[in-house]
Amino acid sequence: MTVNIVFKERFPSFIERLAQDFTVHDLDLPLDRLPADVAAKAEVLVTSGSAGASRAEIAALPALKLICTVGTGYESIDLQAARERGVPVTHAAGINAPVVADHAMALLLAVVRDVPRGDAVARSGGWRQGLTSRPMLAGKRLGVLGFGGIGQGIARRGAGFDMAVSYYSRSAKDFPGATRLPTPAALAEAVDFLICALPGDASTFHLIGAEVFEALGPAGFFVNVGRGSTVDTEALVAALRDGTIAGAGLDVFENEPGVPESLRNLANVVLTPHVAGGAPEAQALSAELIIRNIRGWLDGRRLETPVPEMRDMA
Protein backbone atom coordinates (compact mmCIF):
# COMPACT_ATOMS: atom_id res chain seq x y z
CA MET A 1 0.00 0.00 0.00
CA THR A 2 1.30 3.45 -0.90
CA VAL A 3 1.58 5.91 1.98
CA ASN A 4 1.99 9.62 1.29
CA ILE A 5 4.27 11.43 3.75
CA VAL A 6 4.99 15.16 4.17
CA PHE A 7 7.55 16.79 6.44
CA LYS A 8 7.02 19.95 8.52
CA GLU A 9 10.79 20.50 8.54
CA ARG A 10 13.39 19.13 6.17
CA PHE A 11 15.25 16.17 7.68
CA PRO A 12 17.34 14.78 4.81
CA SER A 13 18.38 11.49 6.42
CA PHE A 14 14.77 10.74 7.41
CA ILE A 15 13.48 11.69 3.97
CA GLU A 16 16.03 9.43 2.28
CA ARG A 17 15.18 6.43 4.49
CA LEU A 18 11.40 6.79 4.45
CA ALA A 19 11.41 7.29 0.66
CA GLN A 20 12.75 3.75 0.31
CA ASP A 21 9.46 2.36 1.65
CA PHE A 22 6.84 5.07 1.11
CA THR A 23 5.96 8.06 -1.08
CA VAL A 24 7.68 11.11 0.39
CA HIS A 25 6.81 14.57 -0.91
CA ASP A 26 10.11 16.39 -0.46
CA LEU A 27 8.94 19.92 -1.28
CA ASP A 28 10.54 21.98 1.52
CA LEU A 29 7.44 24.15 1.78
CA PRO A 30 5.30 25.29 4.74
CA LEU A 31 2.31 23.01 5.19
CA ASP A 32 -0.10 25.80 4.26
CA ARG A 33 1.70 26.26 0.94
CA LEU A 34 1.74 22.65 -0.22
CA PRO A 35 0.27 22.03 -3.67
CA ALA A 36 -3.41 21.18 -3.34
CA ASP A 37 -2.97 17.65 -4.69
CA VAL A 38 -0.19 16.88 -2.18
CA ALA A 39 -2.08 18.33 0.79
CA ALA A 40 -5.18 16.38 -0.21
CA LYS A 41 -3.47 12.98 -0.06
CA ALA A 42 -0.90 13.41 2.73
CA GLU A 43 -1.58 10.69 5.29
CA VAL A 44 1.48 10.97 7.55
CA LEU A 45 3.09 14.14 8.87
CA VAL A 46 6.66 13.97 10.18
CA THR A 47 7.68 16.84 12.43
CA SER A 48 9.71 17.67 15.54
CA GLY A 49 8.72 18.73 19.03
CA SER A 50 9.74 22.34 18.46
CA ALA A 51 8.28 22.62 14.93
CA GLY A 52 5.10 20.87 16.03
CA ALA A 53 1.80 20.92 14.18
CA SER A 54 -0.86 23.55 14.80
CA ARG A 55 -4.62 23.11 14.58
CA ALA A 56 -4.61 24.98 11.28
CA GLU A 57 -1.83 22.80 9.86
CA ILE A 58 -3.63 19.63 10.90
CA ALA A 59 -6.81 20.95 9.29
CA ALA A 60 -4.90 21.68 6.07
CA LEU A 61 -4.21 17.95 5.62
CA PRO A 62 -7.68 16.35 5.16
CA ALA A 63 -6.33 12.80 4.66
CA LEU A 64 -4.01 12.93 7.67
CA LYS A 65 -4.00 9.71 9.70
CA LEU A 66 -0.78 9.82 11.72
CA ILE A 67 1.73 12.36 13.10
CA CYS A 68 5.27 11.20 13.93
CA THR A 69 8.01 13.21 15.61
CA VAL A 70 11.70 12.59 14.96
CA GLY A 71 12.65 12.99 18.62
CA THR A 72 11.25 12.61 22.11
CA GLY A 73 9.56 16.03 22.34
CA TYR A 74 6.11 16.84 21.00
CA GLU A 75 5.29 20.01 22.94
CA SER A 76 4.27 22.13 19.94
CA ILE A 77 1.81 19.63 18.48
CA ASP A 78 -1.84 20.49 19.11
CA LEU A 79 -2.82 17.16 20.65
CA GLN A 80 -6.42 18.20 21.15
CA ALA A 81 -6.82 19.06 17.46
CA ALA A 82 -5.18 15.75 16.52
CA ARG A 83 -7.47 13.82 18.86
CA GLU A 84 -10.55 15.53 17.46
CA ARG A 85 -9.50 14.32 14.03
CA GLY A 86 -8.71 10.83 15.32
CA VAL A 87 -5.04 11.27 14.43
CA PRO A 88 -2.63 9.60 16.88
CA VAL A 89 0.81 11.08 17.55
CA THR A 90 4.00 9.05 18.02
CA HIS A 91 7.44 10.07 19.21
CA ALA A 92 10.95 8.64 19.42
CA ALA A 93 11.08 8.41 23.18
CA GLY A 94 14.58 7.82 24.49
CA ILE A 95 16.30 7.11 21.19
CA ASN A 96 18.46 10.23 21.18
CA ALA A 97 19.04 10.23 24.95
CA PRO A 98 22.68 9.07 24.71
CA VAL A 99 23.77 11.76 22.25
CA VAL A 100 21.88 14.51 24.12
CA ALA A 101 23.65 13.41 27.31
CA ASP A 102 26.96 13.52 25.42
CA HIS A 103 26.21 17.04 24.21
CA ALA A 104 25.28 18.20 27.69
CA MET A 105 28.69 17.15 28.95
CA ALA A 106 30.35 18.78 25.93
CA LEU A 107 28.65 22.08 26.74
CA LEU A 108 29.56 21.76 30.40
CA LEU A 109 33.21 21.12 29.58
CA ALA A 110 33.26 23.91 27.01
CA VAL A 111 31.90 26.58 29.33
CA VAL A 112 33.66 25.48 32.54
CA ARG A 113 37.03 25.10 30.83
CA ASP A 114 36.40 28.13 28.55
CA VAL A 115 37.23 26.10 25.43
CA PRO A 116 35.88 28.63 22.88
CA ARG A 117 38.11 31.40 24.23
CA GLY A 118 41.16 29.15 24.26
CA ASP A 119 40.41 28.10 20.69
CA ALA A 120 40.11 31.74 19.59
CA VAL A 121 43.45 32.68 21.18
CA ALA A 122 45.25 29.72 19.60
CA ARG A 123 43.71 30.40 16.16
CA SER A 124 44.78 34.04 16.31
CA GLY A 125 48.39 32.98 16.82
CA GLY A 126 48.41 33.93 20.48
CA TRP A 127 49.56 31.95 23.49
CA ARG A 128 47.50 32.12 26.70
CA GLN A 129 46.90 35.88 26.39
CA GLY A 130 43.86 36.81 28.45
CA LEU A 131 43.23 33.25 29.56
CA THR A 132 42.78 32.40 33.22
CA SER A 133 42.94 29.19 35.22
CA ARG A 134 39.61 27.38 35.01
CA PRO A 135 37.83 24.94 37.35
CA MET A 136 37.94 21.19 36.80
CA LEU A 137 34.96 18.85 36.82
CA ALA A 138 36.38 16.07 38.98
CA GLY A 139 35.21 16.21 42.56
CA LYS A 140 32.43 18.71 41.90
CA ARG A 141 28.71 18.33 42.57
CA LEU A 142 26.41 17.80 39.57
CA GLY A 143 22.69 18.50 39.65
CA VAL A 144 20.31 17.21 36.96
CA LEU A 145 16.86 18.72 36.41
CA GLY A 146 14.66 16.05 34.88
CA PHE A 147 15.68 12.45 35.41
CA GLY A 148 14.37 10.46 32.48
CA GLY A 149 16.57 8.78 29.91
CA ILE A 150 18.58 11.92 29.13
CA GLY A 151 18.94 12.97 32.76
CA GLN A 152 20.09 9.54 33.86
CA GLY A 153 22.54 9.42 30.96
CA ILE A 154 23.98 12.74 32.14
CA ALA A 155 24.20 11.37 35.67
CA ARG A 156 26.18 8.33 34.53
CA ARG A 157 28.57 10.56 32.60
CA GLY A 158 28.91 12.85 35.59
CA ALA A 159 29.75 9.91 37.81
CA GLY A 160 32.46 9.02 35.29
CA PHE A 161 33.98 12.44 35.98
CA ASP A 162 34.01 11.61 39.71
CA MET A 163 31.18 14.02 40.43
CA ALA A 164 28.57 13.54 43.15
CA VAL A 165 25.13 13.47 41.48
CA SER A 166 21.82 14.89 42.70
CA TYR A 167 18.60 15.36 40.77
CA TYR A 168 15.12 16.84 40.74
CA SER A 169 12.13 15.09 39.20
CA ARG A 170 8.46 14.74 39.95
CA SER A 171 8.95 11.16 41.12
CA ALA A 172 11.83 9.28 42.69
CA LYS A 173 13.96 7.13 40.38
CA ASP A 174 15.77 3.90 41.08
CA PHE A 175 19.28 5.19 40.41
CA PRO A 176 21.87 4.10 42.97
CA GLY A 177 24.21 6.84 44.11
CA ALA A 178 22.03 9.79 43.09
CA THR A 179 20.23 11.95 45.65
CA ARG A 180 16.78 13.38 44.93
CA LEU A 181 16.08 16.94 46.12
CA PRO A 182 12.59 18.42 46.47
CA THR A 183 12.77 21.59 44.33
CA PRO A 184 14.89 23.05 41.52
CA ALA A 185 16.13 25.77 43.88
CA ALA A 186 17.14 23.22 46.54
CA LEU A 187 19.01 21.27 43.87
CA ALA A 188 20.76 24.40 42.57
CA GLU A 189 21.87 25.36 46.06
CA ALA A 190 23.42 21.94 46.62
CA VAL A 191 25.52 21.71 43.43
CA ASP A 192 28.28 23.36 41.42
CA PHE A 193 26.92 22.48 37.98
CA LEU A 194 23.23 22.38 37.07
CA ILE A 195 22.09 20.66 33.85
CA CYS A 196 18.49 20.90 32.65
CA ALA A 197 16.99 17.95 30.77
CA LEU A 198 13.36 18.83 31.43
CA PRO A 199 10.64 18.47 28.78
CA GLY A 200 8.73 21.56 27.69
CA ASP A 201 5.12 21.74 28.86
CA ALA A 202 2.89 23.90 31.04
CA SER A 203 4.22 22.33 34.23
CA THR A 204 7.84 23.26 33.44
CA PHE A 205 7.33 26.69 31.86
CA HIS A 206 9.89 29.13 33.41
CA LEU A 207 10.54 26.65 36.20
CA ILE A 208 14.14 27.88 36.16
CA GLY A 209 14.38 31.56 37.00
CA ALA A 210 16.04 34.08 39.27
CA GLU A 211 15.55 32.01 42.44
CA VAL A 212 17.33 29.02 40.90
CA PHE A 213 20.22 31.09 39.54
CA GLU A 214 20.70 32.86 42.87
CA ALA A 215 20.79 29.46 44.59
CA LEU A 216 23.35 28.16 42.07
CA GLY A 217 25.61 31.10 42.90
CA PRO A 218 28.51 33.02 41.37
CA ALA A 219 30.76 29.96 41.00
CA GLY A 220 27.98 27.84 39.46
CA PHE A 221 27.47 26.86 35.83
CA PHE A 222 24.17 26.10 34.09
CA VAL A 223 23.55 23.93 31.00
CA ASN A 224 20.26 23.43 29.16
CA VAL A 225 19.65 20.58 26.71
CA GLY A 226 15.97 20.17 27.64
CA ARG A 227 13.64 22.83 26.34
CA GLY A 228 14.09 26.60 26.17
CA SER A 229 10.65 27.24 27.62
CA THR A 230 11.78 25.83 30.98
CA VAL A 231 14.03 28.86 31.53
CA ASP A 232 13.11 32.50 32.10
CA THR A 233 15.44 33.98 29.48
CA GLU A 234 15.48 37.47 30.98
CA ALA A 235 16.44 36.04 34.37
CA LEU A 236 19.18 33.95 32.76
CA VAL A 237 20.62 36.92 30.87
CA ALA A 238 20.60 39.00 34.05
CA ALA A 239 22.29 36.21 36.01
CA LEU A 240 25.03 35.84 33.39
CA ARG A 241 25.51 39.60 32.98
CA ASP A 242 25.57 40.40 36.69
CA GLY A 243 27.75 37.49 37.81
CA THR A 244 24.95 35.77 39.69
CA ILE A 245 26.22 32.61 37.99
CA ALA A 246 29.60 31.99 36.36
CA GLY A 247 28.45 30.82 32.95
CA ALA A 248 26.06 28.75 30.85
CA GLY A 249 26.00 26.29 27.96
CA LEU A 250 22.78 26.38 25.96
CA ASP A 251 21.46 24.22 23.14
CA VAL A 252 17.79 25.26 23.40
CA PHE A 253 16.03 28.61 23.50
CA GLU A 254 12.60 30.02 24.27
CA ASN A 255 11.65 31.19 20.79
CA GLU A 256 13.31 28.92 18.26
CA PRO A 257 14.65 29.15 15.66
CA GLY A 258 17.17 31.80 16.53
CA VAL A 259 19.25 32.82 19.52
CA PRO A 260 18.44 36.06 21.36
CA GLU A 261 20.96 38.85 20.82
CA SER A 262 21.06 39.34 24.58
CA LEU A 263 22.64 35.89 24.89
CA ARG A 264 24.84 36.18 21.80
CA ASN A 265 26.46 39.29 23.25
CA LEU A 266 27.63 37.56 26.44
CA ALA A 267 31.16 36.17 26.74
CA ASN A 268 30.38 33.66 29.50
CA VAL A 269 27.96 31.51 27.51
CA VAL A 270 28.54 28.72 24.97
CA LEU A 271 25.75 28.38 22.40
CA THR A 272 24.71 25.63 19.96
CA PRO A 273 21.58 25.81 17.73
CA HIS A 274 19.47 22.92 19.12
CA VAL A 275 21.71 20.18 17.74
CA ALA A 276 22.18 18.02 20.84
CA GLY A 277 20.02 15.20 19.48
CA GLY A 278 21.64 15.19 16.06
CA ALA A 279 23.77 12.09 15.50
CA PRO A 280 23.55 9.81 12.46
CA GLU A 281 23.21 6.77 14.71
CA ALA A 282 20.22 8.27 16.56
CA GLN A 283 18.62 9.53 13.35
CA ALA A 284 18.86 6.08 11.76
CA LEU A 285 17.19 4.48 14.79
CA SER A 286 14.49 7.16 14.87
CA ALA A 287 13.74 6.72 11.16
CA GLU A 288 13.32 2.97 11.65
CA LEU A 289 10.99 3.63 14.59
CA ILE A 290 8.85 5.93 12.44
CA ILE A 291 8.66 3.18 9.82
CA ARG A 292 7.57 0.63 12.42
CA ASN A 293 4.89 3.02 13.69
CA ILE A 294 3.62 3.62 10.15
CA ARG A 295 3.54 -0.11 9.46
CA GLY A 296 1.75 -0.70 12.75
CA TRP A 297 -0.90 1.81 11.72
CA LEU A 298 -1.20 0.22 8.25
CA ASP A 299 -1.52 -3.30 9.65
CA GLY A 300 -4.01 -2.31 12.32
CA ARG A 301 -1.60 -3.24 15.09
CA ARG A 302 -0.83 -1.09 18.12
CA LEU A 303 1.52 1.81 17.54
CA GLU A 304 4.91 1.18 19.08
CA THR A 305 5.54 4.59 20.65
CA PRO A 306 2.40 6.73 20.99
CA VAL A 307 2.82 9.85 23.10
CA PRO A 308 1.54 9.17 26.62
CA GLU A 309 -1.59 11.29 26.18
CA MET A 310 -2.67 9.15 23.21
CA ARG A 311 -1.98 5.63 24.38
CA ASP A 312 -5.72 5.01 24.34
CA MET A 313 -5.72 5.70 20.57
CA ALA A 314 -2.83 3.36 19.78
What stretch of H or E contains 117?
helix 115-123
Q: Answer whether the bond into residue 257 is a cis peptide, omega within 30°.
A: yes
Count the Cβ atoms, other than its own, within 10 Å of residue 34: 18
Active site residue 103: no
- Looking at this protein, which amino acid is placed at residue 48? S
130-138 long-range contacts, CB within 8 A, separation 24+: 135/192, 135/219, 136/112, 137/108, 137/109, 137/112, 137/161, 137/162, 137/163, 137/193, 138/162, 138/163
CA distances from 309 to 61, 83, 192 (A): 22, 10, 36
Question: Is residue 227 among the annotated active site residues?
Answer: yes
**DSSP-derived secondary structure for 30-95:** -GGGS-HHHHHH--EEEE-TTT-B-HHHHHT-TT--EEEESSS--TTB-HHHHHHHT--EE--TTT
Catalytic residue among 9, 75, 211, 256: 256
H-type helices in 135-279, by residue range?
Answer: 149-160, 184-190, 210-216, 233-242, 261-264
Q: Is 9 labeled as catalytic in the residue annotation?
A: no
Q: How many CB atoms are located within 10 Å of the residue 236 CB?
A: 28
Active site residues: 227, 256, 274
